[in-house]
Amino acid sequence: MQPPIIALAIGDPNGIGPEIAVKAVIQSGALDPRLVLIGDEHVVRHYAADIPVRTVSPDALPPRDSGAIDLVDAAALAPEAFAPGNCNAASGTATVCYVEAALQAARLGGFGAIVACPHNETAVNAAGIAFSGYPGLVARLSGVAEDAVFLMLIGAGLRIVHVTLHERLADALARIDSPLVEAATRTAHQALQGLGIARPRIGLFGINPHAGEDGLFGEDDNRVTFPAAEALLREGLDIAGPRGADLLLSEGECDAYVAMYHDQGHIPIKLMAGRRSSALAIGAGVPFASVGHGSAPDIAGRGIADPAPLLQTIQLITGASASGAPQHDL
């Protein structure tokens, strides 16, 4: 099976996204997979230096030219708004437009997966667009309920799916219930099968320390995570827990873990993998991934951004997309 063509959205144009996207294409050369950038032509040309940039149509991709950078020009950012290192509403709007263009390109059938360079959450919200990360955006643009698409962080041998993500902790805890935990776990199970794990074992983190210690630390787990685990076990999923996150991680016996809120899942990945992590949006019906780091406006435009995490993410999503798994599994 041929590796899929990747639609590579350049992320926040005023961050490091376009720089690492161009570097990824250059370093990939004639190797698989083929990368087609989704962004603004004037931004990509700024980083391409003397390498030709060839604008292409997503519904009629020309044969590959390993000596050029292929680009679907989204024409989303005015030239005067291009200012590396400057977080502004225009770059936030452009970030969303690039993802929308990538999804539209994928629907045409020529692309097997989408990889998005890092966004800047402040810039997107400054544009008046409700945004708490790529999973929710991909859900909205795909016509899928936002609480049906989840983030899976992958790095340093860990895979952690998040029931809730970028929101105030009190709001996240108020929103977590058994159906939401079950939905995140089922989606994780499907995604793991799409990654080639036929019978995944999934660990559920408790909400409270020690998963509540039989009510000693609150009834949240007795009310939410334990009933969710029982329901999932009845469905035939291989579930460990709920137990304290520290205990489950120390045992290291699961293919993936389900974290209840942002920091519970992000901290172990970021501690172990640093910037070398990948972020999959699972449940939207299209293979979609991003890097686990931010847009780094402090170094944007300086030519020193490292494309290694992006290349790692591209290889990860390429393997998943080429596995033959149905797209709804990712």
Considering only CA atoms, which of 186, 195, 180 is closest in space to residue 280? 195
Q: Range with the lowest mean pLDDT among 56-65, 89-98, 180-189?
A: 56-65
Identity (one letter) of the amino acid at 230?
E
Q: What is the DSSP letter of 157?
A: T
Can you give the pLDDT at residue 32? 84
Q: Identify how many contiguous H helices and E strands the chain contains and give both numbers.
A: 12, 12
- Please name the residue that has the structure tokens 């983030």: 151
Tens-digit pLDDT profile for residues 227-282: 999 999 999 999 999 999 999 999 999 999 999 999 999 999 999 998 889 999 99
Helix axes 308-321, 17-28, angle to 10 degrees: 70
pLDDT at 328 over 60: no
Tens-digit pLDDT profile for residues 81-134: 999 999 899 999 999 999 999 999 999 888 999 999 999 999 999 999 988 889
| Portion of the chain with pLDDT greater than 90, in percent | 82
One fold for 1-149+276-330 and 157-273 = yes
| Residue 307 structure tokens | 């494309």
Distance CA 116, CA 118 (A): 6
Q: What is the DSSP letter of 64?
A: P
In CATH, the number for domain 1-149+276-330 is: 3.40.718.10
**pLDDT grade for 18, boundaries at 50, 70 and 90:** very high
Distance of CA 162 to the CA centre of its chain: 12
Q: What are phi and psi of 194, to 5 degrees?
A: -65, -25
Q: Is the Cβ–Cβ distance between 35 and 314 less than 8 Å?
A: yes
Distance CA 171, CA 36 (A): 39
Distance CA 25, CA 236 (A): 43
**pLDDT grade for 321, boundaries at 50, 70 and 90:** low
Q: What is the DSSP letter of 66?
A: T
pTM summary value: 0.90
**Mean pLDDT (the chain, rounded):** 92
Report the CATH fold assignment for 157-273.
Answer: Isopropylmalate Dehydrogenase (3.40.718)
Q: Range with the lowest mean pLDDT among 219-223, 253-257, 292-296?
A: 292-296
**pLDDT grade for 326, boundaries at 50, 70 and 90:** very low
CB neighbour list of residue 200: distance below 8 Å, 6 or more residues apart: 188, 189, 192, 193, 238, 255, 256
Domain ranges of the chain: 1-149+276-330, 157-273
Q: Which long-range contacts (CB under 8 A, 24 or more apart) does 99-104 make?
A: 99/9, 99/134, 99/137, 99/138, 99/141, 100/141, 101/9, 101/38, 101/58, 101/72, 101/74, 101/76, 102/7, 102/8, 102/9, 102/38, 103/138, 103/141, 103/142, 103/286, 104/58
